[in-house]
Amino acid sequence: MTLDFFSRALLEVTLAGALAGLVGVLVVLRERAFFTMSLTHATFPGAVAAAMLGVSIPLGAAVAAVALVAIAVGIGRIRSQGPAVASGIMLTAGFALGALLQSLSPLAIDVESFLIGQVLAVTGADIALTAVLLAVAIVVWAIAGPHLVFSSADEGGYRRAGMRPWIPEAVALALIAATVVAIMPVVGAILGVALIVAPAAAARLVVRDWRAMLVVAPLIAIASGVLGLVASRWLELAAGGAIALVAAAFYGLAWLWAEAARRPRGTIETRTPWRTTP
Amino acid sequence: MSEPVVEIADASFGYGGAPVLSGVSFEVRAGEAVALIGPNGAGKSTLLAGLLGLAQHEARVFRVPAARGEIGTLPQSSEIDPAFPVTLEQVVAMGRTPRLGLKWPGRADRRIVAEAIEAVGLTEHRGTRFGDLSGGQRQRALLARALAGEPRLLLLDEPFNGLDHGSRDALLETVRRLKAQGVALLITTHDLDLARAVCDRTLLVNGRQIAFDETGCVLTLERVEAAFASHVMEIDGHTLATTEHHAAAHGAHHHHVLQDDGAAGAEHR
């Protein structure tokens, strides 16, 4: 079966949205948004190097992601240098290295496609990688969901219960890194964080139960992908940017919804009847 | 007599450097509650961490339940972010995780979770978001989480702190029921009356073991003073200002003061 380029793009944004939503819940519950942001930038030099060497771009991005996660873990262990410092250094160093490599490259590299994606040019291999990772993410949540949530909510309690928090942490970081790499063709290295974090953060604002987040976040991410893609076609915009903006708009709507729901209804008199009774 | 669940002899506990607590020998039997009493910094938390394998220990005898889920813990206060999207029932179900590993919870697990919630009197709140519960209710929920693991040994860290009278009585009743079910309990507390109410034996520490015996024998003026040097505390409804504290406050030496609260208040003014 062959699909035209737009159908392929539609399939890819749907799969990538589901994946980003599921993994985004992990990012939001474990408060790893800044880490994810840094990781998206850190994969950039790997992609540039892979393009220069003529090897698979996701492979180059994945290698860079693994190397930079290792460096981040090393910096994070230095006393007085927290994980935020490590992520900050990783973010800027990764991006700078990518720019440097690009300037050194004798070939013309289409950097923009790495940075903001080029979903209309996705290949069957890109789609297959996203589909496989989506299956992995579903299996991980199904099997290890209680461990991921317990260790996210109460790391100390998880440790006191005789379990090792580094295991769910390593699983979470690996899944986040793999997702960043897999959705690069859709939204690129820089905009990837929008599709991962915004839908899950929006879901967290409107539902009160992590299991509901696992349904709502992928739906918002898929809707962001599809709406962004369709809008980009009609309005002749860059698809990656349109998708990221729709995801951000969903977050804004969720925030308004949550604020409205929190605001008490009725007048002060109806809310405090004892005030009006003589 | 029932078998010991915890058996410790000539143990010291710490985090690498000099031991925080040394010379510790005690046991906790099935169906028995042992009070762990000592001033702040005495090493109580280090001892609890040591039993959990989270602090280092050196010991002649060191026997604690080793299988996953056999030790339940109740921290001093909840460490769960109130905004975290979990319901009370989901928090309590976390207590099954060590026993389940990667298995899915079955009907029996759900029944155990429901019973644990019922045991702390929160059944009507089981669908409530954890962060929306009051502080006391959160503590009870965490106790239910510990119970859901069906522990052989339960470590309660200052469980009576900040509880109102009703919650305190309910907790005492829960402790009695757990003892009847054969659970061994080790309870840190500053409240000697509560130790007397439910704890069969008491381990008194302050950097080293001061005493370990039946609660009535341990909580004597001399021993409590030895543990709580330079502290003021209540004993038998009276305020005890121990030697060092009294010396510091009044320049007197080696002089026990045991008086009622009102008089103590007047004296400290």
pLDDT tens string B143-161: 999 999 999 999 999 888 8
User: Cβ atoms within 10 A of the Cβ of B202, count?
Assistant: 28
Strands (E), B15-124: 21-29, 33-37, 56-58, 61-63, 71-74
pLDDT bin (cut points 50, 70, 90) of residue B269 is very low
Size of interface A-B (CB pairs under 8 A): 75
- From the list B71, B86, B149, the residue facing A153 with the nearest CB is B86
The alpha carbon of residue A212 and the mean position of all alpha carbons in its chain are separated, in whole angstroms, by: 18
Cβ–Cβ below 8 Å for A157 and B75: yes
Q: What is the pLDDT of residues B160-174, one digit of tens each?
A: 887 778 788 888 888
Is residue B234 scored above 60 in pLDDT?
A: no
What is the distance between the alpha carbons of residues B218 and B202, in angstroms, rounded to a whole number?
6
What is the distance between the alpha carbons of residues A22 and A19, in angstroms, rounded to a whole number?
5
Q: What CATH code is assigned to B1-65+152-218?
A: 3.40.50.300
Q: Does B17 touch chain A (CB under 8 A)?
A: no
Nearest to B186 by CA among B21, B61, B49: B49
A183 DSSP 8-state letter: T
User: Closest-CA residue in chain A for B104?
Assistant: A143
Q: What is the dihedral of CA B148, B150, B152, B158, to 10 degrees?
A: 10
What is the distance between the alpha carbons of residues B50 and B31, in angstroms, rounded to a whole number?
22
Is residue A225 scored above 70 in pLDDT?
A: yes
Strands B33-37 and B201-205: parallel
Residues in chain A: 278
Q: What is the mean pLDDT of residues B213-226?
A: 76
What is the distance between the alpha carbons of residues B240 and B226, in angstroms, rounded to a whole number?
12
What is the per-residue pLDDT for A146? 94
Cβ–Cβ below 8 Å for A153 and B94: yes
Q: Does B19 touch chain A (CB under 8 A)?
A: no
User: Closest-CA residue in chain A for B148?
Assistant: A161
Of residues B267 and B19, the one with the higher pLDDT is B19
What phi and psi values does residue B187 have, to the nearest 5 degrees? -120, 115
Which of the residue ranges A97-111, A155-169, A241-255 would you say has the lowest mean pLDDT? Answer: A97-111
Is residue B249 scored above 50 in pLDDT?
A: no
- Contact residues on chain B for A206, CB-CB shorter than 8 A: none
Break chain A into its structural domains and give their ranges: 5-263
* CB proximity under 8 Å: A 104-143 to B: 143
CA distance A29 to chain B (A): 7
Query: Could you tell me the two tokens for A143?
Result: 């099997």
Q: A188-192, A209-213, B248-252: which has the highest mean pLDDT? A: A209-213
Q: What is the mean pLDDT of residues A252-260?
A: 93
Is residue A271 scored above 70 in pLDDT?
A: no
Q: What is the mean pLDDT of residues B105-131?
A: 93
Q: A2-11, A154-163, B241-250: which has the highest mean pLDDT? A: A154-163
What is the distance between the alpha carbons of residues A87 and A81, in angstroms, rounded to a whole number?
10
- Contact residues on chain A for B90, CB-CB shorter than 8 A: 149, 209-210
Q: A195-204, A229-238, B69-78: which has the highest mean pLDDT? A: A195-204
Question: Is the Cα dihedral B46, B50, B51, B57 positive or negative?
Answer: negative
Cβ–Cβ below 8 Å for B149 and A161: yes
What is the per-residue pLDDT for B259? 36
Is residue A253 scored above 70 in pLDDT?
A: yes
- Helical packing angle, A184-206 and A239-262, nearest 10°: 0
Is residue A113 scored above 80 in pLDDT?
A: no
Cβ–Cβ below 8 Å for A160 and B69: no
Q: In chain B, count of helices (H) and strands (E)?
A: 11, 13
Nearest to B78 by CA among B131, B5, B124: B131
What is the distance between the alpha carbons of residues A170 and A163, in angstroms, rounded to a whole number?
14
What is the per-residue pLDDT for B111? 96
Q: What is the mean pLDDT of chain B?
A: 83
What is the per-residue pLDDT for B61? 93
- B141, B133 Cβ separation under 8 angstroms: yes
Question: Is the Cα dihedral A29, A32, A34, A40 positive or negative?
Answer: negative
Q: A74-88, A111-125, A222-236, B243-257: which has the highest mean pLDDT? A: A222-236
User: Closest-CA residue in chain A for B131?
Assistant: A208
Q: What is the pLDDT of residues A55-75, one digit of tens each?
A: 888 888 888 888 877 776 677
pLDDT bin (cut points 50, 70, 90) of residue A217 is very high
Give the predicted TM-score (pTM) of the model: 0.84
Cβ–Cβ below 8 Å for A154 and B90: no
- Contact residues on chain B for A204, CB-CB shorter than 8 A: 85
Strands (E), A86-161: none
Nearest to B153 by CA among B26, B16, B13: B26
Q: Does B75 touch chain A (CB under 8 A)?
A: yes
pLDDT bin (cut points 50, 70, 90) of residue A132 is very high
Q: What is the mean pLDDT of chain A?
A: 86
Is residue B229 scored above 80 in pLDDT?
A: no
Cβ–Cβ below 8 Å for A154 and B71: no
Cβ–Cβ below 8 Å for B94 and A154: yes
What is the per-residue pLDDT for A121? 84
Q: What is the pLDDT of residues B72-84, one digit of tens each?
A: 999 888 889 988 9
B259: Cα within 13 Å, side-chain hemisphere: 14
Break chain B into its structural domains and give their ranges: 1-65+152-218, 80-149, 229-268
Nearest to B36 by CA among B228, B247, B222, B203: B203
- Contact residues on chain A for B79, CB-CB shorter than 8 A: 154-157
What is the distance between the alpha carbons of residues A113 and B76, in angstroms, rounded to a whole number?
52
Cβ–Cβ below 8 Å for B102 and A213: no
User: Closest-CA residue in chain B for A162?
Assistant: B68
Q: Which helix (H) or strand (E) holds A117?
A: none
State the burial class of residue A117 (Cβ atoms within 10 Å of its Cβ: 0-12, 13-18, 19+): buried
Give the class (CATH, top level) of A5-263: mainly alpha
- From the list B85, B95, B97, the residue facing A210 with the nearest CB is B85
